[in-house]
Structure 1
Amino acid sequence: MRIKALLALTAVAASLTACATADRYDAAGDVHDLLVAIRDNDRARFDAHVDRRALKGQIEARLMDEARRRGSSDALSALAALAAGPIADVASEALIRPETFRAAATYYGYTPDRPIPGRVAIASTLRPVDNGRVCAAKKDGPCLLTFTREGSTWRLTGFDPQAANLHLKR
């Protein structure tokens, strides 16, 4: 009986690992396309692999968190809440473009003077995270970029600016 239970658990673990590996490999193709778009400054290709609405929402949430963290008055908090949307609109237009993400690509070793690795190499740098998403991270480092499957395409849906600042200062 114990052997059957152990075999069943092993089969479940193997199938979950296979799903995570398949997601990482599948996402790697779109991450490769995004890296090429960043390298080539191809705005249309970049936009096809970026979820602007999700990234704008992340910027807006960060602005709100910063206002709360500073412990401002209720009136100032209300003003910050009103201004967060328009500020996030302007910030997202200014920041969500290939040139901005070039520093993150360089951190991962994708510099213009080197060829972008293939799908298998990129898949090895992706880490499965919650809700079927994957993130790009170096070895044991933090997740810098997060990708979510939207239909048949994996799109950039999250960016950790604190992790970027830690690594880009080195």
Structure 2
Amino acid sequence: MRIKALLALTVATLSLSACATADRYDAAGDVHALLTAIRDRDRAAFDARVDRQALKYALEARLLEEARKRKPDNSLMALAAALAGPVADLAGEALIRPETFRAAANYYGYTPDKPLPGRVAIAAALRPAGDGRVCAAKKDGPCLLTFTREGSVWRLSGFDPEAANLHFKR
């Protein structure tokens, strides 16, 4: 009885591991397409692999978090809350474009003078992030970019600005 339970647990664990690997490999194709769009400054291909609304929500959440850290009085916090959405919309339009993401691509080693790695190499740099998402991380570093599956396409849906600041301030 114990052997059957152990075998069932092993099969379940391997199945879950295979799903995570399949997600990473599947996402790697779309991440490669995004990197190609960034490198080539192809706005249409870039837009097809980016969830603008999710990124704008991330910007808005970051603005609100910064406002809370400053511990303003209630009226300033209310003003910050009222302005966070419109400011995130404006910032999103200005920042969510191929040129802006070149710094992230350069951080991961995808510089214009080097060929882009293949799907397997990209998959190795992705890690499961829960809820069917994957994130791009360099070796044991923090996740910088998060991708979410929408239908059959993986799209950039989040980023960690603090992780980005650690590497882009230099």
1:156 is paired with a residue of what secondary structure?
strand
Q: Give the structure 1 partner of residue 52 of structure 2.
A: 52
Aligned counterparts, 1:4-153, within 5 A: 4-153=4-153
Write out the 4+ residue segments of structure 1 that deviate beyond 4 Å after TM superposition. Answer: none
- The amino acid that maps onto 2:156 is L
1:144 is paired with a residue of what secondary structure?
strand
Q: Give the structure 2 partner of residue 2 of structure 1.
A: 2
Report percent identity of matched pairs.
Answer: 76
Distance (whole Å) between structure 2 residues aligned to residue 85 and residue 18 of structure 1? 39
2:155 is paired with a residue of what secondary structure?
strand
TM, length-normalised to structure 1? 0.98
Distance (whole Å) between structure 2 residues aligned to residue 165 and residue 155 of structure 1? 22
Distance (whole Å) between structure 2 residues aligned to residue 78 and residue 161 of structure 1? 23
Deviation per residue, 1:102-152 (Å, 9 max, x gap):
011011110000000111110010000110100000111100000000011
| Number of residue pairs the alignment of both structures matches | 170
Structure 1: stretches of 5+ with no match in the other structure: none
Q: How far is 1:85 from its partner?
A: 1.2
Distance (whole Å) between structure 2 residues aligned to residue 4 and residue 65 of structure 1? 50
- The amino acid that maps onto 1:85 is G
Deviation per residue, 1:45-70 (Å, 9 max, x gap):
00000000000011011111111110
Structure 2: stretches of 5+ with no match in the other structure: none
1:148 is paired with a residue of what secondary structure?
strand
> What's the RMSD between the two structures over aligned residues?
0.8
Distance (whole Å) between structure 2 residues aligned to residue 143 and residue 117 of structure 1? 19
